[in-house]
Amino acid sequence: MCRSAIRISRFTEHLDRLPVSQPLERVLTGGCKGYGMKRLTLLSFFIVLALGRFAASDDIVLKSGEVLEGDVKEIDQKAGIIRLQTDEKGTIKVIKLKDVEKIFEKKTSWQRKADYVKEYDRQLKMAKETWESQVAMGKWCKTHMLPEKAPDHYAKAGKLRLEQMEGWLKDGKLKPENELEHRLKLAKWLEKDCDLDDESKKQFELCYKLKKDKLGADDSPDTHFALGTWLENEAKIEAQAIKEYEKAVELNPKHSKALAAVKRIKDSFEFQAREMVAEYVKAGRAWKITIAIEDNADKKFLDEWQERMQLISDYYFGLTEGQFFIAECEIEDSTSEGRIIVEKGKLDWFGLGNKQGQGVLAYCMGGGMPGWSVHSPGKAGISVIAHEMGHGAFGLPDEYYQNPQCDCMMRAAPNPQKLCMKDNHIAGGRNVGPPGSEGKDCWQIVLNRKEWKGTVSQPNPNWTWAGDTSKMFPNKTGNGTDGPRNCGGELRYKNLKMTAPPKTVFKVTDN
């Protein structure tokens, strides 16, 4: 796995305090150039082991690909073990040194959460009794490891905003003829910004009743058609609009406008694309990716990352024959909690190893596990991030230990937009992935993932390549680390002929 170079300066004075009695037989791997690895010296290894004892805490990466989080409490060289504290309760796990791949300095999740609890208590004292302030508190909790506290703030925000609107109605600041418009905005806000689906549904039902009262209480085809028109054009709820149009047709099978409306919506690319996204979300194949930028970034930088993530979504759509893409992406600066983390002080860096992009380009922690994350510089190449996401989302191993290398995204940079298959996979080397993946090609590892087993196929019968996949289109973006791009193709989903994934929905927060 491609992970970061390890900070080793300032810890040499602690070596004599480290409880190590004899040399290790094996030197651990650290850092990378492109994605190719280099060896640590034995002295460097001792310093790395010292990090857990004298710095913050450690992530220990095993050869199996598993990542263990915690504080190193003891390294017993004679017994060949590490004793690692794995939770805030003091639980100790014993690890065999021969099973360890690398160790990285990093605060544990419980240490970070404890810091956030203190900050939460401070912010809570300053929070105003307004719905805006409560929404801000809820959003902060969700992005700072305190999601359990967010619902209370959102519920309070919804209550305060509803009370504000009803107060306006009572005082005459909001005219009755404008109530429908305001309640509809409230219903959408409760659902989208506050995750209060039940409250949103109540407000929508009130909106529906208000609209129906305006149109008249009769159960005529024209009333249902008018309700459908309002739902489609004003409320923007097409699924409900279709039900009203179909009710009109049920009452009058020759209602030409209702018949045309149902056909127009169901045949539209946008509606079918939304249905496709919903299906992919259900199958876990339309991803939601969060980008945490540890520094304060300007608009240009945030826009660049939005463009980068759209290209990565396109990358995965073609790479996986139209079976995976990024449905939603949240980008936020001045935070450290995200699926992809742009490390502090490296906004204009091309590689984590150094500004010029030599050495470590990016690295993934917890590959193949639910909590995987990618650490990146601000100018990372598109295929670099895609490679690391391959570790994270699929649990794919690196494929650059053998010579020649696999013609695959998981080879050293620059790499092509391909996943190796059984007939072209080059076995050997140290391609160690999750347990059970040893020796398997990347496509087989993807197909075996339990999250979507049975919903992914290769080749995908609904995918047609646009051209000869052996002739890759040259890359036109990036910094030299991006390999050639594949020629793309067409996904045939129901009546769709889709050559690119649905556009990623972005939410960008500039703190």
Q: pLDDT per residue over 120-141, tens digit each?
A: 999 999 999 999 999 999 988 9
How would you classify residue 230: left for phi > 0, otherwise alpha for psi between -120 and 50, otherwise beta? alpha
226 or 24: which leads in pLDDT? 226
- Rounded to whole angstroms, the Cα distance separating 495 from 350 reads 42
Q: Is 472 helix (H, G, I), strand (E, B) or coil?
A: coil
The CATH class given to the 12-107 domain equals mainly beta
For residue 80, what pLDDT is reported? Answer: 92
For residue 379, what pLDDT is reported? Answer: 94
For residue 43, what pLDDT is reported? Answer: 32
For residue 476, what pLDDT is reported? Answer: 61
For residue 19, what pLDDT is reported? Answer: 33
Residue 22 pLDDT exceeds 50: no
Convert the pLDDT of each residue in 165-174 to its tens digit.
Answer: 999 999 999 9
Domain boundary assignment for the chain: 12-107, 112-275, 283-509
- Rounded to whole angstroms, the Cα distance separating 26 from 97 reads 9
Q: Terminus-to-terminus CA distance in the chain, angstroms?
A: 33
24 or 77: which leads in pLDDT? 77
The percentage of residues in the chain with a pLDDT greater than 70, rounded to a whole number, is: 83
As a 3-state breakdown, the chain gives helix, strand, coil percent values, each rounded to 5, of 40, 15, 40
Buried b (16+ CB within 10 A) or exposed e, 27-36: ebbbbbbbbe
Are the beta carbons of 402 and 429 closer than 8 angstroms? Answer: yes
Are the beta carbons of 294 and 335 closer than 8 angstroms? Answer: yes
Convert the pLDDT of each residue in 316-338 to its tens digit.
Answer: 999 999 999 999 999 999 988 89
In this structure, what token pair is assigned to residue 460? Answer: 């995908």
- Return the biggest CA–CA distance within the chain: 90
Mean pLDDT of 291-297: 95
Are the beta carbons of 305 and 311 closer than 8 angstroms? Answer: no
For residue 234, what pLDDT is reported? Answer: 86
The per-residue pLDDT of the chain, averaged, comes to: 82
Mean pLDDT of 62-90: 83
For strands 325-333 and 505-509, give the pairing.
Answer: parallel
pTM: 0.71
Residue 11 pLDDT exceeds 50: no
Q: Is 290 helix (H, G, I), strand (E, B) or coil?
A: strand
Residue 442 pLDDT exceeds 90: yes
186 CB-contact burial (10 Å; exposed 0-12 / middle 13-18 / buried 19+): buried
| Lowest mean pLDDT, pick from 34-43, 244-253, 300-309 | 34-43
Convert the pLDDT of each residue in 29-58 to its tens digit.
Answer: 233 333 333 333 333 344 344 433 333 456
Residue 308 pLDDT exceeds 90: yes
Residue type, 329: C
For residue 477, what pLDDT is reported? Answer: 58
256 CB-contact burial (10 Å; exposed 0-12 / middle 13-18 / buried 19+): exposed
Residue 210 pLDDT exceeds 50: yes
For residue 252, what pLDDT is reported? Answer: 95
Are the beta carbons of 13 and 53 closer than 8 angstroms? Answer: no
Mean pLDDT of 437-453: 88
In this structure, what token pair is assigned to residue 226? Answer: 């008018």
Q: List the beta bridge partners of residue 38.
A: 30
- Rounded to whole angstroms, the Cα distance separating 338 from 503 reads 21
